[in-house]
Structure 1
Amino acid sequence: MNVAFFLTPKREVVCENLDSTMRQALERMEYHRYAAIPILDEDGKYIGTLTEGDLLWKLKNTPNLDFNNTTKIKIEEIPRRVINNPVHIDSNIEDLIAKSVNQNFVPVVDDNNVFIGIIKRSDILNYIYEKMFNKRKIEA
């Protein structure tokens, strides 16, 4: 099975770029109720994943930083504590499942490292559950 089966395309994914501000990321994540979002560079290449934890640690560890002045902090200035490596579109399902164990979504890139979408862990689990349920139903 090809990992593309699970792909949520880029046009349906909330992303930020390195030039965005901390405030923009906070507001976007709150609006969409996301705990993490992909970060892309100006060429659309996947740079990493920004998490709520990254934002909280930046807020905690930066003297005099509060919500009102988060407009002065660029995403590129925020250390990311977790590295979410992407899979390539031609990766095998085993690699995808291994990466999805520790992250809510797995970024997907093409051969040029250009971001093309994500694969949500919930989509993988739902697929596996459905396969198991149908298998048990047939065996019974």
Structure 2
Amino acid sequence: MNISFFLVPKAEVAYLDLDSTMRQALEKMEFHKYSAVPIVDRHGKYVGTLTEGDLLWQIKNTQSFTLELAEQIQLKDITRKMKNKPVRIESKMKDLLSLAISQNFIPVVDDHGIFIGIIRRREIIEYYANSVEQGSTDIDNITN
């Protein structure tokens, strides 16, 4: 199955620019109630994922942390512990299954590494659950 059927396009995804500040990240994540968001550079390339844990570690390791100080800390200066691996748009569903085990969403990029959207873990699980319900118990048939 073509993964583009499950793609949430970039225009509908809350993401952050690498030059954004920590405060902007905190506010965006709070507003959307997300625990992780993709980060893109000024050319639109996917560079990683920022998590709540990354922000908490930054707060812990910043002496005398304040929200005013968070306005000066850029995302490019925050250590990211999670390495969410992206897939290309021509990937197959079976390529997503192993990534969905450890990632809430899978970033999708084009041939040039430009971020074009995400596929959420929920859609991947629903796809496989529906395949099993419809009687496809052969994993090779399900993952193609």
TM over 0.5: yes
Aligned residue in 2 for 1:26: 26
Q: What is the correspondence of 1:42-121 to structure 2 with a 5 Å cutoff? A: 42-121=42-121
Q: C-alpha distance in 2, partners of 1:122/1:24?
A: 27
Cα shift readout 1:103-132 (whole Å, capped 9, x = no counterpart): 100000000000000000011112222232
TM-score (structure 1 length as normaliser): 0.92
SS of the aligned residue for 2:37 comes to strand
C-alpha distance in structure 1 between counterparts of 2:8 and 2:77, whole Å: 28
Shift of 1:27: 0.5
Which portions of structure 1, spanning 4 or more consecutive aligned residues, are displaced by more than 3 angstroms?
none
**Percent identity among equivalent residues?**
51
- Tell me how far apart the structure 2 counterparts of residues 68 and 112 of structure 1 sit (CA, whole Å): 37
CA distance in 1, matches of 2:124, 2:82: 21
TM-score by length of 2: 0.90
C-alpha distance in structure 2 between counterparts of 1:123 and 1:42, whole Å: 29
Unaligned runs of 5+ in 2: 137-144
RMSD, aligned CA: 1.2
Q: Secondary structure at the match of 1:119?
A: strand
**How many aligned residue pairs are there?**
136
In the alignment, residue 91 of structure 1 is paired with which amino acid?
S
Structure 1, unmatched stretches of 5+, are none
2: CA distance, partners of 1:126 / 1:68: 42
More helix by share: 1
